[in-house]
């Protein structure tokens, strides 16, 4: 199987404000290896940093600023958007943020994260960044752990065995139960009314890319307490 690494930069306007900012993408190229994609990314980081220094001389100018970078590994010779093999995200400085190495064919199953692989905990304020928007949120629940996976697997096997006995069919432990890449996600709450929430996949979740005003931080913490209680 041959794959290609797609590199994009996600930008926003310098005068955009929290908690919700519009974003746009800049396609930086397709590469045969991850190393080549990262090499170009680091060159782009330096170029954008020089540009930002020049723009800061005139604070009145509204210009594009870098939020994050994203490298998506796609399988070749299939429909666009299908069969993504991995996703990696990086900060504006080119530092690794998080990664999802599970393919969208579900041939490599997600079996939970270790404590070292979980970057944010319930109550943490984060910024969820996609090619369309960047939004401040508070974490309600981190990704499932390895222990969560094992418990869910055992629960499924027990119920599966009961169903097999009930219907008189052969019991087989192999097969249906698995988690895929979409289960490698957080539960987060944005600043809005009610219990609205969503489940961004791990590479979309970042530390806030700029200081969070205390007024917003307090509102997000209050939101977390409301949802927890």
Looking at residue 174, its pLDDT comes to 63
What are the pLDDT digits (tens) for 115-139?
999 999 999 999 999 999 999 999 9
| Strands 64-75 and 125-129, bridge-based pairing | unpaired
Tell me what pLDDT residue 169 has: 72
Strand partners for 8: 27, 70
Residue 107 has a pLDDT of: 64
What are 152-194's pLDDT values in tens digits? 878 877 787 777 777 777 766 665 677 777 889 999 999 987 7
Please tell me the predicted confidence (pLDDT) of residue 124: 97
Residues of the chain under the 50 pLDDT cut: none
pLDDT of residue 210: 94
- The predicted structure's pLDDT at residue 154: 82
pLDDT in the model for residue 171: 61
86 in Cβ contact with 99 (< 8 Å): yes
What 3 state SS string does the chain have? CCEEEEEEEEEEECCCCCCEEECEEEEEEEECCHHHHHHHHHHHHHHHHHHHHHHCCCCCCCCEEEEEEEEEEEECCCCCCCCEEEEEEEECCCCEEEEECCCCCCCCCECCECHHHCCCCCCCEEEEECCCEEEEEEEEECCCEHHHHHHHHHHHHHHHHHHHHHHCCCCCCCCCCCECHHHCECEEEECCCCCCCECCEHHHEECCCCCCCHHHHHHHHHHHHHHHC
């Amino acid at each position: 199987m041959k794959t290609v690494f797609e590199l994009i930069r996600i930008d926003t306007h310098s005068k955009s404000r929290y908690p919700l900012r519009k974003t746009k993408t800049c396609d930086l190229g397709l590469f045969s290896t991850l190393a080549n994609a990262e090499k170009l990314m680091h060159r782009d980081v330096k170029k954008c940093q020089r540009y930002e220094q020049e723009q800061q001389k005139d604070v009145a100018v509204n210009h594009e600023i870098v939020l994050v970078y994203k490298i998506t590994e796609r399988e070749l010779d299939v429909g666009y958007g299908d069969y993504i093999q991995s996703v990696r995200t990086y900060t504006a400085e080119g530092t690794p943020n998080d990664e999802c190495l599970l393919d969208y064919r579900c041939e490599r199953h997600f079996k939970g994260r270790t404590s070292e692989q979980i970057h944010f905990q319930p109550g943490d304020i984060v910024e969820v960044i996609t090619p369309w928007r960047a939004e401040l949120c508070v974490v309600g629940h981190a990704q499932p752990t390895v222990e969560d996976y094992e418990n869910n697997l055992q629960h499924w096997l027990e119920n599966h065995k009961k169903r097999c006995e009930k219907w008189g069919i052969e019991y087989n432990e192999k097969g249906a139960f698995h988690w895929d890449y979409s289960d490698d996600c957080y539960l987060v709450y944005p600043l809005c009314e009610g219990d609205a929430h969503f489940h961004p996949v791990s590479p979309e979740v970042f530390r806030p890319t700029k200081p969070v005003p205390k007024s917003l931080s307090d509102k997000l913490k209050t939101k977390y307490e409301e949802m927890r209680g």
